[in-house]
Amino acid sequence: MDLKSRFTGCLIGLALGDALGAPFEGSPSGKKSLQYLPPVLHYSDDTEMSIGVTESLIAEKGFNPDDMAERFYKNFNIRRGYGAGTISVLRLIKKGMHWSEANKKVFPQGSFGNGAAMRAAPIGLFYFNDSKNLKEVTYTASSITHDHPLAKEGALLITTAVSEILQGRTKEEILESLLHTSEIKEYQEKLKTVESFLQKDITAEDVISALGNSVLALESVPSAIYAFLKYGEDYLKTVEFCLSLGGDTDTISAMAGALSGAYVGIENLPEEFIERLEDKDKLQGLSLELLERVINP
C-alpha cells in the first residue's frame, strides 16, 4: 500500500474516530447506534491538537517544541472539550510562561491524562522511518502539556504502533514491538493482558475492567491498542468496539482509529461518514503536506 493512502488514512481515521466517539463521551458501556448522528460530524480537542502537531511539523520541517506549543494555544477552542489540566496549561503558555514551566503548574509531576497520546499519531507518521528521533520527539512533544512519564509512554506506544504500521508490519509484529517498547511496568502488564485477550473471547466489560476506559493514558491507550489489534482490518468495527466501552469514547476511538486508518488506508475508510466529517479536506491536505515533508525534507 502506498504511503499517501496510509498517511491520509491515519489522520482522517483519527479525526473520524474522534468525531464518531464525541457524542458518546461519558456514556455507559454497551453497543452504540451511529444512525442518529448529526449531518456534520464535529471533531473535538483530540483532532484540534493533532492538527497543531501536524501543522508544526510541516511549517518547521521537523520538531520545534516552542512552535508546537504556540500552535496549541493559537488553535485552542474551548468548545472542543479539552481536559481541565490542559486548558490551564495552554492559558499559562498563552500568557507568556514557557511550556516547560507551565506543564508543572497544575500537576507538579505533570499530567498523566491521555491528552498527549491522543494527538501523537502524526509524530509517528513523520518519524516512521527514524526510530532514533521518534522516541525523543514523542516524549518532548508530550511534555509540552503532559510531563508525567505515564502520559509520555502512552504517546510513545501510539507513535511506535503508527511507525510499525507504516513499515508494513503485521499485527503480531506490531504487538511484539510494543511489548519491547514499553519500559514502564504498568504498561508492560497491560500489554501482556492485551496479548492474552487476543487469544480469547473477550467482552467490552472485560476490557473496561482490565485495561480501562478513562481519560488517563494508562487507562485508555492499552484499550485502544487492543481494539486495533483485534479489529483493525475493519475500521468501523474498530471504532464501534471503542464506542461500546463507553467512558472516554472520543479519545479511545481517535487513537484506535488512527492506527486502523493507517493500517487499511484511506480507500478502506467508510465514505458515508468521511463525507460528513468537519474539515475533511483540510485534514487530507495536511496529511499530504506532512508526507511531502518526509519525502522531500
Task: Give me the residues that bind Mg ion (CB under 5 A), please.
Answer: 44-46, 81, 250
8 Å CB contact between 151 and 117: yes
Give the helix/strand (H/E) hosting 86: helix 84-94
CB atoms within 10 A of CB 233: 13
Site residues for ligand RVK, 215-234, by CB under 6 A, read: 215-216
State the minimum distance, in angstroms, from the CB of residue 83 to ligand RVK. 2
Site residues for ligand RVK, 150-189, by CB under 6 A, read: none
Radius of gyration of the chain from its Cα atoms, rounded to whole angstroms = 17
Does 190 help bind ligand RVK (rule: CB under 6 A)? no
From the list 6, 32, 71, 148, which residue makes contact with ligand RVK (rule: CB under 6 A)?
Answer: 148
Does 251 help bind ligand RVK (rule: CB under 6 A)? yes
- Largest CA-CA distance found in the chain, in angstroms, rounded: 52
Distance between first and last Cα of the chain: 22
Collapsed DSSP state (helix, strand, coil) of residue 146: coil
From the list 21, 85, 122, 261, which residue makes contact with ligand RVK (rule: CB under 6 A)?
Answer: 85
What are the grid coordinates assigned to 213, written together?
Answer: 476506559
CB atoms within 10 A of CB 124: 27
Q: Which one-letter DSSP state was computed for residue 155?
A: H
Does 32 help bind ligand RVK (rule: CB under 6 A)? no
- Nearer residue to ligand RVK within complex by CB, 109 or 167: 109
Number of Cα atoms under 13 Å in the Cβ half of residue 168: 3
State the minimum distance, in angstroms, from the CB of residue 224 to Mg ion. 13
What are the grid coordinates assigned to 126, written together?
Answer: 513523520
DSSP string, 196-240: HHTTS---HHHHHHHT--SSBGGGTHHHHHHHHHHHTTSHHHHHH
As a whole number of angstroms, the distance between CA 230 and CA 226 comes to 6
| 5 contact, one of Mg ion, ligand RVK, none, CB 5-8 Å limit per kind | none
From the list 73, 81, 179, 237, which residue makes contact with ligand RVK (rule: CB under 6 A)?
Answer: 81
State the minimum distance, in angstroms, from the CB of residue 127 to ligand RVK. 22
State the minimum distance, in angstroms, from the CB of residue 45 to Mg ion. 4
Site residues for ligand RVK, 87-146, by CB under 6 A, read: 107, 109, 111-115, 118
Collapsed DSSP state (helix, strand, coil) of residue 78: helix
State the minimum distance, in angstroms, from the CB of residue 204 to ligand RVK. 18
| 115 contact, one of Mg ion, ligand RVK, none, CB 5-8 Å limit per kind | ligand RVK
- Nearer residue to Mg ion within complex by CB, 53 or 291: 53
From the list 250, 257, 259, 287, which residue makes contact with ligand RVK (rule: CB under 6 A)?
Answer: 250
Binding site for ligand RVK (CB under 6 A): 44-46, 81, 83-86, 107, 109, 111-115, 118, 148, 215-216, 248, 250-251
